[in-house]
């Protein structure tokens, strides 16, 4: 099973993308986050295989969050 985290500050988009990803065979959404800081916390907790990350978000952008997540995992 491929574990996916979805990160985007647009809640409607996040909900829709999570629903689509969850319908794929062999894939499960392990959590969603709405900014870079939440994404880091989510990845620490869930250790997803894949993170679908927006670039432009409040608090911490997706590029900075991705760098931190890469160092964590």
Query: Tell me: the pLDDT tens digits for 35-68?
Result: 999 999 999 999 999 999 999 998 899 999 999 9
Q: Does the pLDDT at position 73 exceed 90?
A: no
Range 2-72 classified under CATH 3.40.190.10: no
Strand partners, 2: 27
Question: Alpha helix locations (H) across the chain?
Answer: 11-22, 36-46, 62-72
Claim: this prediction has a pTM higher than 0.85 = yes
What are the two backbone dihedrals, phi and then psi, of residue 3, each rounded to the nearest 5 degrees? -100, 125
């Amino acid at each position: 099973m491929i574990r996916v985290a979805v990160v985007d500050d647009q809640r409607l988009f996040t909900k829709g993308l999570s629903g689509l990803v969850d319908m794929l065979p062999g894939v499960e959404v392990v959590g969603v986050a709405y900014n870079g800081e939440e994404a880091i916390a989510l990845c620490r907790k869930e250790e997803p295989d894949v993170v679908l990350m927006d670039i432009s978000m409040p608090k911490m952008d997706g590029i900075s969050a991705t760098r931190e997540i890469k160092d964590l995992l």
